[in-house]
Structure 1
Amino acid sequence: MKKLITFLLLFTMAVILPIGCSNNSPNTSEVSNNNVLSIYNWSTYIAPEVITEFENKFNVKIQYDTYESNEDLYAKIKPGNPGYDVAFPGDYMVEIMVYEGLLEELNQENIPNMKNLNEKFINPPYDPGNKYSMAYQWGTMGIGYNIKATEGEINSWSTMFDPKFKGRVALLDDMRSSFSIALISLGYDPNTTNPKEINEARDFLIKNKEAIAAFAPDTGQNLLDQGEVDLTCEWSGDIFQIMKENPNLRYAIPKEGSILLTDNMVILKGSNNKELAEKFINFILEPEIGAKISNFIKYATPNQTAKDLGLIEAADLNNPAIYPPPELFAKLDYIQDVGQATTLYDEAWTEVKLGVGN
Structure 2
Amino acid sequence: MKKIIVTFIAALILAAALIALSGCGDTVVLNVYNWGEYISTGKEGTYNTNREFEKWYLEKYGKKIRVNYETFDSNESLRAKLETGSVNYDVIVPSDYMIEYFIKNDMLAELDFSNIPEYKNIDEKYRGLHYDPENKYTVPYTYGVVGIIYNAKAVDPADVTGWEVMWNSKYSGQILQFNNSRDAFATAMYMLGLDVNSEDKAVWDTAKTKLMEQKPLLKARVMDEVFNIMEAGEAALGAYYAGDLLTMQSEQADGVDLRIHIPEKSNVYVDAMCVLKNSKHKSEAEAYINFMLTEDAAVANSLQHCYSSPNTLVLNSEKYREEMGDEALAVLYPDGYDFAKAYAEYSFKNLSQPTLDYLTGLWEDYIID
TM beyond 0.5: yes
Distance 1:133 1:88, change over 3 A: same
Shift of 1:277: 0.8
1:35 aligns with 2:6: no
Shift of 1:309: 4.1
Question: Hey, what does 2:252 align to over in structure 1?
Answer: 246
Shift of 1:305: 2.9
Q: Comparing 148-157 with 163-172, which one deviates more in the overlay?
A: 148-157
Count of residue pairs the alignment pairs up: 327
1:322 aligns with 2:332: yes
Question: Hey, what does 1:188 align to over in structure 2?
Answer: 194
Does structure 2 retain, via aligned residues, the 8 Å contact 1:236–1:251? no
Question: Hey, what does 2:5 align to over in structure 1?
Answer: none
Superposition RMSD in Å: 2.2
1:99 aligns with 2:99: no
1:45 aligns with 2:55: no
Classify the secondary structure of the residue corresponding to 2:238.
strand
Classify the secondary structure of the residue corresponding to 2:320.
coil
Classify the secondary structure of the residue corresponding to 1:113.
helix
1:219 aligns with 2:225: yes
Q: 4+ residue runs of structure 1 moved beyond 6 angstroms?
A: none
Deviations 1:34-55 (A, max 9, x none): 5221111112210011112111
Letter of the 1:176 partner, please give it: R
Classify the secondary structure of the residue corresponding to 1:215.
strand
Matches within 5 A, 1:264-303: 264-303=272-311
Does structure 2 retain, via aligned residues, the 8 Å contact 1:139–1:237? yes
Question: Hey, what does 1:12 align to over in structure 2?
Answer: none
Question: Hey, what does 1:259 align to over in structure 2?
Answer: 267
Distance 1:75 1:31, change over 3 A: farther
Question: Hey, what does 1:234 align to over in structure 2?
Answer: 240
Question: Hey, what does 2:350 align to over in structure 1?
Answer: 337
Question: Hey, what does 2:163 align to over in structure 1?
Answer: 157
Output the TM-score relative to the length of structure 2.
Answer: 0.82
Does structure 2 retain, via aligned residues, the 8 Å contact 1:144–1:221? no
Matches within 5 A, 1:118-157: 118-152=123-157, 154-157=160-163
1:54 aligns with 2:59: no
Deviations 1:174-224 (A, max 9, x none): 101011000000011222222222111111111122221111133222221
More helix by share: 2
Q: Which runs of 5+ in 1 are unaligned?
A: 1-28
CA separation in 1, counterparts of 2:191 and 2:26?
A: 50
Shift of 1:69: 1.3
Question: Hey, what does 1:64 align to over in structure 2?
Answer: 69
Matches within 5 A, 1:160-175: 160-175=166-181
Letter of the 2:264 partner, please give it: E
Matches within 5 A, 1:7-46: 31-32=24-25, 34-46=27-39
CA separation in 2, counterparts of 1:81 and 1:32?
A: 22
CA separation in 1, counterparts of 2:143 and 2:207?
A: 26
Question: Hey, what does 1:22 align to over in structure 2?
Answer: none
CA separation in 1, counterparts of 2:172 and 2:348?
A: 28
Instruction: State percent identity of aligned pairs.
Output: 30
Distance 1:354 1:239, change over 3 A: same
1:349 aligns with 2:363: yes
Deviations 1:215-258 (A, max 9, x none): 11332222212333111111123232121121634342433321
Shift of 1:331: 4.3
CA separation in 2, counterparts of 1:83 and 1:115?
A: 29
Classify the secondary structure of the residue corresponding to 2:304.
helix
**Aligned pair partner of 1:205 in 205, 208, 211:** 211
**Aligned pair partner of 2:184 in 173, 178, 201:** 178
Shift of 1:70: 1.1
Distance 1:343 1:149, change over 3 A: same
